[in-house]
Structure 1
Amino acid sequence: MSTETSDRILSWHSNPSRPRYTPPPGAIDAHCHVFGPMAQFPFSAKAKYLPQDAGSDKLFSLRDHLGFARNVIVQASCHGTDNAATLHAIAVSEGKARGVAVVNPAIGDDELHAMDAGGMRGIRFNFLKRLVDDAPKDKFLEVASRLPRGWHVVIYFEADILEELRPFMDAIPVPIVIDHMGRPDVTQGPDGADMKAFRGLLDSRPDIWFKATCPDRLEEPAGPPWDDFARAVAPMVADYSDRVIWGTDWPHPNMQNAIPDDGALVDMIPRIAPTPELQQKLLVTNPTLLYWPEEIGSES
């Protein structure tokens, strides 16, 4: 892959609108990433995409522009298992960021606990074949059994392999968070096969959470106003209001052909969480429980 700037992917909006919706005080963007900067934090030799730099300064500027208070930074696949860029962003956040790591399953306990001290609160298992070459379930389960206290596992997959993954997820000994609801076909509506299957997963154990995120991905290439996403997801948010979180997904990996306006993404929030009570849970209570539990006296 070329490292020339002109050949690197730009996937985020250069001038996002200011949202009409104002998030509640303490709102958390619970799914975002940082890319580089490459000169300081090189990308993985195995990366499937090579983005332009989108470091912590850009992320925190966007956070303030959109009206959020904190971030949960998820390790991007372009950095592989080198979490230095994510850990750096957390370190310079002045306590306003926590993170989710991607690790080699052979990682030692000392390194896991060092990541805990650095603000990581979970690890991510990616099953998207277009992004990763190998996803060894047995090794994932082993490292999941050694996580620091209070950590969880984040899983990213597409709807067509949900049933295949059920035994694996059943064996994970810590809470689980599902990225982007397992990428259902939202055009099927709230009662479609994908949403019913996902509800079945949520009903199978009480410690599975999900991210009501990425209308831009799940309705690509339709673009805003993402009406199918709103119709399909709002009932999920209402029915599982204690187990749902939200994030921008900035800087939108691999979305260079349909770059979303982050302000428009924020304006989706009241469409899927129409009451102040739901918005408080989605943006404050639930992500705080997962990532800053010490603030509410939880040991979850």
Structure 2
Amino acid sequence: MPEGTCDCHFHVFAPHAPLASPRSYTPRIETLDGWLQLADAIGMAHGVLVQPSVYGFDNRVLLTALAAHAERLRGIVVIPPETDGDELMRLHRLGVRGVRINLRNKTGLPLEAVPTLASAIQHLGWQLQFQVGPDGVEAVTRTVLQYGITAVIDHAAFLPVADPAVEPGITALQRLLDTGSAYVKLSAPYRLAAAPDYPGFGALVARLAASHPERLLWGSDWPHTELFEAMPDDADLVSAMLDWLPDEPMRRKVFVTNPESLYWSTE
């Protein structure tokens, strides 16, 4: 992987941390030490921790990890929209750089939280990260245009890339990227297509790399939540992504310079 690679999407869990109820899944406990071992093994210099839905508004596991590796990590939290400015500044100093809106899991923040959050976080240079399906992309586009906030889409909006009818979804995603204020994560191909070859995902990567190279990010999606019975091999996933991005300058954009610009440009 390119020197300076950033994993823009992973989660950590901790023994005995209280879980939200109701929730979409019960996690297998995988701690930051596990991600650090993976990062060192495959060459990831930095990472962006994403608050998992199962912890709701309780960001303590994530914030503990950020505090332990302040230079190496950034974080995306889930917070009440009415969180006050002092708390936002505390989170910013710890390395938080955005808030996650999650329409796919129980306890996730809804789109209705966007107006209040966008107003509160803009001066910090934070982003709103959206976990939405294909039917949510146009709403994110409207959000970007209306509130002037930077948006990041998880897992290529879960586009069904093997379906011939996926074309309108790809076009909608490209229109979002056309705003110049959005990024999309080329991550978790197993959530979009069937293993082991993930038909259609490589074509999506090539198409977005040709049209919007400055707007792409990569994430490991470690530890692959909800897939505990059929865990993908991380080395195979990295190898596939490198095959889908064979051009070295393009790899550097996706793995290094794009995340540097998004997550490390504000102090």
Verify same fold: TM over 0.5.
yes
Which 5+ residue runs of structure 2 have no aligned equivalent? none
Mapping for residues 1-300 of structure 1, pairs under 5 Å: 23-35=1-13, 37-39=14-16, 41-93=17-69, 95-128=71-104, 131-132=105-106, 135-147=109-121, 148-188=123-163, 192-203=167-178, 205-219=179-193, 222-293=194-265
- Give the Cα separation in 1 of the matches to 2:241 and 2:108: 34
Distance change (3 Å), C-alpha of 1:52 and 1:257? closer
Q: Distance in 2 between matches of 1:246 and 1:136?
A: 24
Structure 1 unaligned regions, length at least 5: 1-22
Q: Is the 8 A contact 2:56 2:108 kept in 1?
A: no
- Which residue type is aligned with residue 232 of structure 1? L
Given that 2:144 and 2:150 are in contact with CA atoms closer than 8 Å, whether structure 1 keeps it comes out as no
**Aligned-pair distance for 1:164?**
4.7
Deviations 1:10-66 (A, max 9, x none): xxxxxxxxxxxxx1111111111111x132x32223332111211111111111112
- How far apart are 1:71 and its partner, in Å? 0.7
SS at match of 1:115: helix
Instruction: Give the direction of change, closer, same or farther, for the CA distance of 1:144–1:164 in structure 2 (3 Å limit).
Output: closer
Kindly indicate whether the alpha-carbon contact (under 8 Å) linking 2:140 and 2:176 is maintained by their aligned counterparts in 1.
no
* Larger helix fraction of residues: 2
Cα deviations across residues 106-136 of structure 1 (Å, max 9, x unaligned)? 21111111100111011111111xx125644
Residue 77 to residue 201, structure 1, CA distance change in 2 (3 Å): same
> Alignment partner of 1:281: what SS?
helix
**Preserved contact between residue 98 and residue 291 of structure 1 (Cα < 8 Å):** yes
Question: For the residues of structure 2 that align with 1:191 and 1:127, how far apart are their CA atoms?
Answer: 20
Deviation at 1:190, TM superposition (A): 10
| Distance across 2 between alignment mates of 1:56 and 1:172 | 34
Are the equivalent residues in 2 in contact too, given 1:152–1:177 (CA < 8 A)?
yes
Aligned residues: 266
Q: Which amino acid aligns with 1:27?
A: T
Query: What amino acid maps onto 2:160 in structure 1?
Result: D
Letter in 2 for 1:273: L
Inter-partner Cα distance in structure 1 for 2:5 and 2:171: 29
CA distance in 1, matches of 2:183, 2:63: 24
Structure 1 residues 164, 241: CA separation in 2 closer, same or farther (over 3 Å shift)? closer
CA contact (8 A) 2:161 2:199 kept: no
Q: CA deviation at 1:214?
A: 1.1
* Structure 1 residues 46 and 159: CA distance shift in structure 2, 3 A: same
Which is worse superposed, 61-70 or 184-193? 184-193
Q: Paired residue for 1:4?
A: none
* Residues 134 and 286 of structure 1: CA distance in aligned 2, closer, same or farther (over 3 Å): closer
Secondary structure at 2:2 match in 1: coil
Distance 1:134-1:123 versus aligned 2 partners, 3 A rule: closer
Quickly say closer, same or farther: Cα 1:105–1:85, change in 2 above 3 A: same
| Residue 257 of structure 1, CA deviation | 4.0
More displaced 10-residue stretch of structure 1: 26-35 or 144-153: 144-153
Find the residue that maps to 2:129 and give its secondary structure.
Answer: strand
- Report the secondary structure of 2:101's partner residue: strand
Q: 1:49 to 1:223 in 2, by over 3 A?
A: same
Counterpart of 1:67 in structure 2: which amino acid? G
Q: Which has the higher contact order (CA 8 A, sep 6+)?
A: 1
Question: Normalised by the size of structure 1, how large is the TM-score?
Answer: 0.83
Q: TM-score, normalised by structure 2?
A: 0.92
